[in-house]
Amino acid sequence: MANGNDRFVNQIADINTDYTKWYTDVCIKSELCDYGPVKGTMVFRPYGYAIWENIQAEADKRFKAQGVSNAYFPMLIPQSFLMREAEHVEGFAPEVATVTHVGNTELAEKLVLRPTSETIIGNLYSKWISSYRDLPLKLNQWANVVRWEKTTRPFLRTSEFLWQEGHTVFATPEEANADALKMLEVYKELANDVLALPVLTGVKSEKEKFAGAVATYGMEAMMKDGKSLQSGTTHYLGDNFAKAFDIKFLDKDGTHKYVFQASWGISTRLIGAIIMAHGDERGLCLPPPVAPIQAVIIPIGAAKNPGVLTAANALHAELEKAGVRVKTDDRDQSPGYKFNHWELRGVPLRIELGARDLAANIVTVCRRDTSEKFTLPLDAVAQKTPELLAEVTRNMYAKADDFTKSHIVRVNSLDEMSAALDGGNFCDAYWCGDRECEDKIKQQYAATTRVHHHDQSDAHDHTCVCCGKKATKRIYFARAY
């Protein structure tokens, strides 16, 4: 990541006056990613990809604890497969990339690059599942997918992205729906504990649900501009794909029945969520569980005092042994330059070690999340760092949670909604449930329904924020990425 002209690349736009440019500046200048040569594509540079690897490891272990196994299915799907589920093709066809030729030869059947894999996996499940003994079947794949989007932004919306897609199969609708809800909880725990990200979870509206699902559940995270980022979804698919791909099993009662399915996914979008929920005027602020570098040691005045580097290297080894992802920055640059460099990159802890510190057997520690500075005895650093990192994670979560809670506004009219949205808030509103009101709000205020409020108990006692008719739901409206 060393770069001769860091002094200039470190300059990022002001988060308060130009949030959009701030976001892309942070993405590019912290070397998380770069633009690919084809419009709408992106490159995951090592620093960004390492965050994804850490998310993957944490997610994968949670999936396996749910009895899920990994597999890998072909990326190329016969175009005809997409057509078999009516809603599914309608939802995905416009953004699907199609392979027509190999070399100079035209293919007999056009192939699409998977936008998601329900169809091809359905085809194989129909082959593999024959008896109730084969159920439940819980597979996941880590893969690239392609959805051609008109407006693209790094991590948030690119024509190719990386994700995981879980595809589970059950004998009954209840089990399949329960799995979709269970995986939503798994995602929420991952967001909270690993990304320090508070999320709102709940049912999506008919309009916002996955093309081909009976119900979609989502988790929404609030970004610092008050917009929502859909950060993970789980779907109860009913027997829609079972019927389209003839996935049946012989039940204990001797009859053949269609299976019921769920699917669920999170993607490299989560990196965008981390950037926008935690970042600040100095750049990235990474949650320790996914930070590629959790602590950076800055030796100060090492040129004049070789003992400093020796001590830094010894501390580095100790921290590594304590399971901390540590880096020692011994480049020939000023301390101030290095402070900026690693602040931009969001490293949770900076450990400064100079000649005077060394003489006093201490180090100065600076937290990225609070800018708090304090000294620690040199021989206590390795032991204290893991708990410090855990404290940083908890504090980052608490800060983001406070921010989220203080930016949710109960609104009773469209005027209130408009003001709340313009003030960078989510709207907690009652809604009749009709698509027309949803469409009107989207058109007039650029806000969409995100997820149902967890408390639906009094929804029927209120009137719709838009049309004034009887409400059927309490739901969050927000502007969204």
278 touches 288 (CB < 8 A):
no
State the minimum distance, in angstroms, from the CB of residue 119 to its own copies: 9
Three-state DSSP string of 222-273: ECCCCCEEEEEEEEEEECHHHHHHCCEEECCCCCEEECEEEEEEEECHHHHH
Joined together, the tokens standing for residue 70 give 């990994």
- Closest to its own copies by CB, 342 or 476: 342
Taking the least distance from each CB to its own copies, the nearer of 284 and 400 is: 284
Give the DSSP letter string of 419-474: HHHHTT-EEEEEE---HHHHHHHHHHHS-EEEEE-S--TTGGGSB-TTT-SB--EE
If you search the block for the tokens 């320790």, which residue do you land on? 288
The kind and range of the H/E element at 140 are strand 137-146
Nearer to its own copies, 106 or 415 (CB): 106
Which residue's CB is nearer to its own copies, number 93 or number 480? 93
Q: What are phi and psi of 153, to 5 degrees?
A: -145, 140
The CB density around residue 363, as the number of other CB atoms within 10 Å, is 24
Q: Name the nearest CA neighbour of 480 among 228, 196, 185.
A: 228
Asked if residue 148 lies in contact with residue 159, where contact means CB atoms within 8 angstroms, the answer is yes
- Which CB sits closer to its own copies, 79 or 456? 79
Q: Which value, to the nearest 10 degrees, does the dihedral of the CA atoms of residues 148, 149, 153, 157 take?
A: -70
Q: In the bound complex, what is the minimum distance in angstroms from residue 183's beta carbon to its own copies?
A: 18
Contacts for 439 with CB less than 8 Å, ≥ 6 apart: 207
Q: Could you tell me the smallest distance in angstroms from the CB atom of residue 159 to its own copies? A: 7
Question: Is 200 or 284 the residue whose CB approaches its own copies more closely?
Answer: 284
Instruction: Please report how close the Cβ of residue 88 comes to its own copies at its closest, in angstroms.
Output: 15
In whole angstroms, the minimum distance from the beta carbon of 303 to its own copies comes to 18
- Which residue, 96 or 378, has its beta carbon nearer to its own copies? 96
Burial state string for 240-251 with b = 16 or more CB within 10 A and e = fewer than 16:
bbbebbebbbee
Q: What is the closest distance, in whole angstroms, from the C-beta atom of residue 47 to its own copies in the complex?
A: 9
CB of 378: closest distance to its own copies in angstroms?
Answer: 28
| Residues 14/237, Cβ–Cβ less than 8 Å | no
| CB closer to its own copies out of 175 and 280 | 175
Q: How many residues does the chain have?
A: 481
321: its two tokens: 């042994």
In the complex with its own copies, which residue's Cβ is closer, 38 or 443?
Answer: 38
Interface contacts to its own copies, rule CB under 8 A? 2-4, 34, 36-38, 41-46, 49-50, 52-53, 69-78, 81, 93-104, 109, 111, 113, 120, 123-124, 127-128, 130-131, 133-134, 139, 143-144, 146, 148, 159-160, 162
Partners of 474 in beta bridges: 430
Which residues are CB-neighbours of 37 under 8 A, at least 6 positions away? none
CB-nearer residue toward its own copies: 134 or 318: 134
User: How far, CA to CA in Å, does 33 sit from each of 18, 52, 217, 229, 407?
Assistant: 20, 12, 30, 19, 30
Min dist. Cβ of residue 380 to its own copies (A): 29
Question: C-alpha 446: how far from its chain's center?
Answer: 22
Least distance CB 1 / its own copies (angstroms): 9
Strands, sheet with 408-410, edge to edge from the N-terminal-most edge strand? 408-410, 426-431, 473-478, 448-452
Contacts of 356 (CB under 8 A, 6+ apart): none
User: In the complex with its own copies, which residue's Cβ is closer, 124 or 181?
Assistant: 124
Closest separation between CB of residue 266 and its own copies, Å? 16
State the minimum distance, in angstroms, from the CB of residue 28 to its own copies.
11
> Which run of H or E residues covers position 137?
strand 137-146
Judged by beta carbon, residue 85 or residue 220, the one nearer its own copies is: 85
Minimal distance, residue 64 CB to its own copies, in Å:
11
Q: Name the maximum alpha-carbon separation found in the chain.
A: 83
